[in-house]
Amino acid sequence: MRMRNWIQSVRQGNVAERWFAYATGLQWKLLVILALIILVALQVIFVNFSDRLEKQLLTNVTNDLNRQKNVISKVIEETIHNRKKDENPNVLKDKINEDLARVVFLQTKNNQLINVQILNNNGFIVAATGDGKSKIGYKNPYVHSLPFNQEEIRRSPSSKSQDVLMKVYSLDITNPDFEFDRIYMEYPLDTTYQLIRSIIKTLIIQTFYAMIIVSILIVIMTRTITVPVKEIKEQATAMAEGDFNRRVDVRSTDEIGKLAKAFNHLASHLQTALTQKEEEKEKLETVLSDMSDGVIATNRSGAIIVKNERSEQILNREIKLGEMLNSVLPLSEPVQFPITQELHNLIQVQHDDQDDPLYIKLTFTPLKQKRNKPTGTIVVLKDVTEEERLDRQRKEFVANVSHELRTPLTTIKSYLEALEDGALEQPELAVRFLQVSRTEADRMTRLINDLLQLSKLDAKQSRFDKKIMYLEDVLEDVADRFIFQCKQKEIKLTLRHADEELPRIYADRDKMDQVLDNLLSNAVKFTPQGGSVTISSRLRPDGLIEVAITDTGMGIPKKDLERIFERFYRVDKARAREQGGTGLGLAIVQEIIKAHEGIVWIESKERKGTTVFFALPPFERRVHS
């Protein structure tokens, strides 16, 4: 029961809403306004028409009374002229009464003669018609209040319910001595007013039917306006919701039809414009998402309005639209918005999951309108960590080279000064000083040679005499070269060949010897007495030939593994320098392997040993590729 009442109330509410919408709609307003205009116009017409009709009918009555007066005056004048001189005045009055009864032609609605009275100079009734005969000899009470030849409408003295037109005329008689000089006439106006009411009633009835027809025509006319307007409104609502496929029906060629046609053109144009805008937006989003740099756009006050995913990755945080840029970027000093010129800044960001900080270069570019007023800011975030690292390595490289060259030069200079100061006269001491100087000079020569070789490898100027060879032969030769050195340090050197025959490689034999000599020299150098060094090779599943040199030395700390191939980088600088290393061996190895299209890497555990791997492509794959 409650559900039924609720449904009924909802339906009643919907009906009420529809009726309210219709009552406040344009069609109803036009209908009411036009109907009121017509009613006001008809009211004005009725008032003017009834007034003119009444005046016209009263004018007709007055004209009839004038004609009646002329006839009566003419007849009475003839009667007076034809009377006998000694005739009794009462006889004359009787003749005049007979004349009135004979010549009065105006009648009331009851076919009775109108009230006509002949008055003397003092206003007494001498002759009369109709009901006025009973008043002969009495004075007319209205005659002195009415000027000659003017009419007045009053209530009838005999009938209080109807109006009469009363008028007094002068009796046109040539005998001035005659006492009869006025004619008083009363004309009842009930017939006239009945005619007016009948005509007005007919007009009202006709107007009522005309209003019905006009209302129907108004509804039809307003629908020709409101229906297209309603369709345009529905189309505008649909467009606001994103539907641009609907069109307004063009039913005419008038202004409404032109408006509907223009609105359809507008919808088509907007659809095209929005489609282009969406395409441009998708292109912009694609460009922003594929950019290697982060991009953030702000409005005039510094609130973020556009950002790409790369900016969130660089800053390692979620960026919400509407956030202030100063709260997103870790700036030492906040930026004052709006900016008017391009700004540059370098910030350092330390993420929890990274050991080294990120260096981010920020470029602030103002967005300006045609009037050169700033409307926003574009911020480009560029990860320059690698550039900063390379710059740091360059500075470290220069410092290391300077240090590596300065140390032997200082030693040589010191010993030469000692020889100059007198040590040369002591043969044993002089020989020892010269040997040390020669050792330092050889060390400096090796350093310079390594630097020159790296420079040529970097510049792609180093020549490679590549030939087809078997890697097993190269490994056996390098093992033979280091077998005596390993025996001196009581290090066990083992060479393990693969179970299957390895493919041939295409390489420079001298460069491969240099790679293996560097790696095996490091393994022997950092392996303690009684340790072991193993050289092994295998064919990997991906087709590359892999070589591994494993030692049981001190190992490399995890923090140093990422930088082990950097130039002049040493895990234990003091010990490496004592053992004559330049810190460039692994860097040369890496460059040579890369020149052979191979890869090199290191696996190590501190105090448990180190394994250096490198892999080269087989000659057969190089030929087929």
Of 377, 397, 413, which one is at a domain's C-terminal end? 377
436 and 562 in a single domain? The answer is no
Q: What is the average pLDDT across 583-600?
A: 86
Most confident region among 9-18, 134-143, 340-349 by mean pLDDT: 340-349
Q: How confident is the model at residue 1 (pLDDT cuts 50, 70, 90)?
A: very low
CATH number at residue 549: 3.30.565.10
485 and 588 in a single domain? The answer is yes
Per-residue pLDDT of 497-517, as tens digits, reads: 877 788 999 999 988 998 998
Residue 123, pLDDT above cutoff 70? yes
On whether residue 132 sits in a domain, the answer given is yes
On whether residue 618 sits in a domain, the answer given is yes
Q: Which residue has the higher pLDDT, 163 or 109?
A: 163
Residue 10, pLDDT above cutoff 50? no
Question: Is the bond preceding residue 176 a cis peptide, omega within 30 degrees?
Answer: no
What local confidence, expressed as pLDDT, does residue 174 receive?
Answer: 55
On whether residue 37 sits in a domain, the answer given is no
What local confidence, expressed as pLDDT, does residue 85 receive?
Answer: 67
178 and 304 in a single domain? The answer is no
What value does the mean pLDDT of the chain take? 78
On whether residue 533 sits in a domain, the answer given is yes
471 and 550 in a single domain? The answer is yes
Q: What is the average pLDDT across 480-506?
A: 88
493 and 617 in a single domain? The answer is yes
441 and 328 in a single domain? The answer is no
Q: How far apart are CA 567 and CA 415, in angstroms?
A: 29
What local confidence, expressed as pLDDT, does residue 500 receive?
Answer: 79
Q: How confident is the model at residue 624 (pLDDT cuts 50, 70, 90)?
A: very low
Q: How far apart are CA 100 and CA 564, in angstroms?
A: 154
Per-residue pLDDT of 257-282, as tens digits, reads: 777 788 788 878 887 888 888 887 77
345 and 417 in a single domain? The answer is no
Q: How far apart are CA 307 and CA 304, in angstroms?
A: 7
On whether residue 496 sits in a domain, the answer given is yes
Q: What is the average pLDDT across 328-343?
A: 84
Q: What is the average pLDDT across 22-47?
A: 75
Helix (H, G, I), strand (E, B) or coil at 288: helix
Of 377, 403, 420, which one is at a domain's C-terminal end? 377
Instruction: Give the chain's domain count.
Output: 4
Q: Which residue has the higher pLDDT, 561 or 31?
A: 561
* Domain of residue 407, residue span: 389-457
Of 154, 188, 222, which one is at a domain's C-terminal end? 188
In the block, tokens 């009442």 appear at 5
Q: What is the average pLDDT across 232-252?
A: 75
What local confidence, expressed as pLDDT, does residue 581 receive?
Answer: 58
Per-residue pLDDT of 282-293, as tens digits, reads: 777 777 777 778
Per-residue pLDDT of 294-307, as tens digits, reads: 888 888 888 988 88
Measured at the alpha carbon of residue 500, what is the angle toward residues 497 and 506, in degrees to the nearest 5? 80
60 and 120 in a single domain? The answer is yes
What local confidence, expressed as pLDDT, does residue 572 receive?
Answer: 60
What local confidence, expressed as pLDDT, does residue 2 receive?
Answer: 46
Residue 616, pLDDT above cutoff 90? yes
Q: What is the average pLDDT across 33-42?
A: 80
Q: Which residue has the higher pLDDT, 601 or 606?
A: 601
What local confidence, expressed as pLDDT, does residue 368 receive?
Answer: 76
On whether residue 284 sits in a domain, the answer given is no
Q: How far apart are CA 171 and CA 180, in angstroms?
A: 7
Measured at the alpha carbon of residue 563, what is the angle toward residues 530 and 574, in degrees to the nearest 5? 55
The model's pTM: 0.43
Question: Is the bond preceding residue 503 a cis peptide, omega within 30 degrees?
Answer: no
581 and 597 in a single domain? The answer is yes
Q: How confident is the model at residue 22 (pLDDT cuts 50, 70, 90)?
A: low
80 and 115 in a single domain? The answer is yes
On whether residue 222 sits in a domain, the answer given is no
CATH number at residue 346: 3.30.450.20
- Whether 190 and 165 have beta carbons less than 8 Å apart is answered as no
Per-residue pLDDT of 52-62, as tens digits, reads: 887 888 888 78
436 and 468 in a single domain? The answer is no
On whether residue 259 sits in a domain, the answer given is no
What local confidence, expressed as pLDDT, does residue 284 receive?
Answer: 75
Measured at the alpha carbon of residue 539, what is the angle toward residues 535 and 540, in degrees to the nearest 5? 110
What local confidence, expressed as pLDDT, does residue 623 receive?
Answer: 47
476 and 334 in a single domain? The answer is no
